[in-house]
């Protein structure tokens, strides 16, 4: 083997690795983008639940009656 043939083989190996890494980076980018959308959705749902809990707590406090005896007693 001549030195030129070794260099060509090495170049081919590096190009192959680069192509694999490019594909891997693209797939990881898709995963990160999907997780970002999921996190944003979960944050919105959490904010909605916090608001609902706050509204229920306010309604319970405003109802005030505490533990009233039902009228049939």
**To the nearest whole number, what is the mean pLDDT of the chain?**
89
pLDDT value at residue 65 = 57
d(CA 51, CA 59): 12
d(CA 39, CA 45): 10
Q: What is the mean pLDDT of residues 31-48?
A: 98
- Which among 26, 30, 48, 49 is positioned nearest to 38, based on CA atoms? 30
Does this model's pTM top 0.75? no
Burial of 36 (0-12, 13-18, 19+ CB in 10 A): exposed
């Amino acid at each position: 083997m001549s030195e030129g043939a070794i260099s060509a083989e090495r170049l081919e190996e590096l190009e192959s690795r680069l192509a694999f890494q490019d594909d891997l980076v693209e797939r990881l980018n898709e995963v990160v983008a999907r997780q970002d959308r999921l996190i944003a959705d979960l944050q919105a749902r959490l904010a909605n639940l916090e608001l609902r809990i706050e509204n229920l707590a306010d309604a319970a406090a405003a109802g005030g009656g505490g533990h009233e005896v039902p009228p049939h007693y």
